[in-house]
Structure 1
């Protein structure tokens, strides 16, 4: 088995990719890692913040 084959010996091993997380937050003992952007959550938060900001500005 060489470095280009997997343990089974009949398939080439997948190339190693250096994937970086979207967000990595370390505070004390807390370690939060987000690998993919949560677009639905960001859209929901933007709608809530935009609606709340607009109603607050129009008072």
Structure 2
């Protein structure tokens, strides 16, 4: 199993490779992407970088 993030593309060696996005040089894309946190109307969602419609986790913040 490869560790993320990658310092360079595992296929062409180009630096600055972001797992989950295609390499601009050779178009290789990791099977596992980075996840990011985005705010929503009611809290936060953790979504996959390569498909923001894919919600991995949801955190709802209660009202005051």
Higher relative contact order by CA 8 Å / sep ≥ 6: 1 or 2? 2
Shared fold, TM over 0.5: no
Q: Name the structure with the higher helix share.
A: 1
Q: TM-score range by the shorter chain?
A: under 0.3
Could you state the TM-score of these two structures normalised by the residue count of structure 1?
0.21
Could you state the TM-score of these two structures normalised by the residue count of structure 2?
0.20
